[in-house]
Amino acid sequence: MTDTRASETGLLPDEEHAPRAVVFDLDGVLVDSFDVMREAFTVAYAEVVGPGEPPFREYNRHLGRYFPDIMTIMGLPLEMEEPFVRESYRLAHRVRLFPGVVDLLEELRDRGLKLSVATGKSGPRARSLLEQLGVLPLFDHVIGSDEVARPKPAPDIVLRALDLMDSGAEDAMMIGDALTDLASARSAGVTAVAALWGETAEEEMLAAEPDVVLRAPAELLELCPPVLIG
């Protein structure tokens, strides 16, 4: 595991072996959507299940997965998806990009890297949110869990991103804030990078021994020098 705050990283690439493509998770990595998710989950639970304390803490442990899969794991009704998605759209104006994300994405594009999003959200909802935030054009592709056969922690969504970007696994990395992101990255054979600037379970993420640990978006630039042409 490498923490880019250390000078003796050992993983900082030379230009010949530098990554050419980066796959990002969305929630907790690019956008701070936790408050919106809490509210949407609370409304959906009240509408479908009824009174009582919604188990958001447990839900939070499964972030990165497709919402229907989380409901199945938690033993909650799949009917919660409709009000959850409805409220997520209604509250989307409250979602914000994490500080430094726009600068990071623009600099990575300037350096010639290909960028994609692989999210537990549906594709249409993810693209709608990124368009609303003004950063959709910075990505080559945005892929939702409804657009692959097997969502995270399976490798399908990362492999799909690599295929669309015409990138090999050895030339790519996946940035995520959940254990499912790390599992998906490893299964796809890409460098697994833990993003710890959101509301992630830091101890669990560190215990999973990601290849790299980042504590601020800008730290990713240390791993991504300009892409060599030719």
> What is the predicted pLDDT for the residue at 64?
83
SS (H, E, C) the chain: CEECCCCCCCCCCCHHHCCCEEEECCECCCEECHHHHHHHHHHHHHHHCCCCCCCHHHHHHCECECHHHHHHHHCCCHHHHHHHHHHHHHCHHHCEECCCHHHHHHHHHHCCCEEEEEECCCHHHHHHHHHHCCCHHHCCEEEEHHHCCCCCCCCHHHHHHHHHHCCCHHHEEEEECCHHHHHHHHHHCCEEEEECCCCCCHHHHHHCCCCEEECCHHHHHHHCCCCCCC
3 included as an active-site residue: no
For the CA atoms of 14, 17, 21, 27, what is the dihedral angle to 10 degrees? -60
> What is the predicted pLDDT for the residue at 3?
62
Please write the tens of the pLDDT for every residue from 151-206.
999 999 999 999 999 999 999 999 999 999 999 999 999 999 999 998 888 999 99
The residue that leads in pLDDT, 83 or 65, is 83
Contact 135/105 with Cβ under 8 angstroms?
A: yes
27 included as an active-site residue: yes
What token pair was written down for 93? 């104006």
Please write the tens of the pLDDT for every residue from 33-65.
999 999 999 999 999 999 999 999 899 888 888
Give me the CATH code for the 2-32+95-223 domain, please.
Answer: 3.40.50.1000
Tell me the C-alpha distance between 65 and 122, whole Å.
11
The residue that leads in pLDDT, 9 or 129, is 129
Contact 151/145 with Cβ under 8 angstroms?
A: yes
> What is the predicted pLDDT for the residue at 217?
97
pLDDT at 7 over 50: no
Q: Which of 25, 32, 156, 171 is catalytic?
A: 25
pLDDT at 9 over 80: no
Please write the tens of the pLDDT for every residue from 67-81.
999 999 999 999 999
The residue that leads in pLDDT, 65 or 14, is 65
Q: Which of 27, 32, 177, 211 is catalytic?
A: 27
Give me the percent of the chain exceeding a pLDDT of 70. Answer: 92
> What is the predicted pLDDT for the residue at 201?
84
> What is the predicted pLDDT for the residue at 11?
52
The residue that leads in pLDDT, 57 or 9, is 57
pLDDT at 228 over 50: yes
> What is the predicted pLDDT for the residue at 10?
40
Q: What is the mean pLDDT of residues 205-220?
A: 96
What mean pLDDT, rounded, does the chain reach? 92
> What is the predicted pLDDT for the residue at 109?
97
pLDDT at 15 over 80: no
- To the question of pTM greater than 0.85 for the whole model, the response is yes
